[in-house]
Amino acid sequence: MPPQPLDDLDHHLLALLQQDSGKTLAALGELVGLSPSAVQRRITRYRETGLITRTVAVLDPRTATDALLAICAVTLDRESVEAHEEFRAHLLANPHVQQLYNVTGDHDYIAVLATTGIGQHRSVADEVLKSAPNIRRYTTMVVLDPLRTTLTLPTR
């Protein structure tokens, strides 16, 4: 069964949930003009249809002790489906790979690594990138100041 189309209340509620999913049902309902039970039904529907995949606490990388973020641009050597699948599986298996994007342009992938300092970054980069199958080259950019980090996606 295809998911229901989103109405204006859904868009508003999803925007609020992406900003702070810890708000009470009553507070959310007041902001969108619904009862707490109606808000709960919508949130349940979002989860059941896969629109909301999980609820997490987002830490500020500027205040997380010794957090080091690095953006790695990766170019693969071979372009076969199998080569891409093997590379993806290798990176996705490592918990330090915070984000992984298949991109267009000069590189094939962008990976964001999250570690606790430069020493750990070096060992993780060796484990994740230097030992990864099929890498022609990669470039690492260490994040000096994470000016904006958000997971918010537009819904319309």
Closest CA to 129 of 68, 67, 74, 70: 74
Average pLDDT over residues 144-154: 85
pLDDT digits (tens, 9 = 90+) for 17-58: 999 999 999 999 999 999 999 999 999 999 999 999 999 888
Residue 26: per-residue pLDDT: 97
Please report which confidence band the pLDDT of residue 101 belongs to, taking 50, 70 and 90 as the band edges.
very high
Q: Distance between CA 132 and CA 126 in Å, rounded?
A: 9
Q: pTM for the whole thing?
A: 0.79
Mean pLDDT over the full length of the chain: 92
Taking residue 45's Cβ as centre, other Cβ atoms within 10 Å add up to 14
Please report which confidence band the pLDDT of residue 121 belongs to, taking 50, 70 and 90 as the band edges.
very high
Residue 2: per-residue pLDDT: 57
Domains along the chain with CATH numbers: 8-48 (1.10.10.10), 68-142 (3.30.70.920)
Average pLDDT over residues 139-143: 95
Q: Distance between CA 150 and CA 129 in Å, rounded?
A: 25
Closest CA to 73 of 115, 107, 28, 124: 107
In this model, does residue 7 exceed pLDDT 70? yes
Eight-state DSSP code of residue 63: T
Residue 47: per-residue pLDDT: 95
**Cα 124-126-127 angle, rounded to 5 deg:** 65
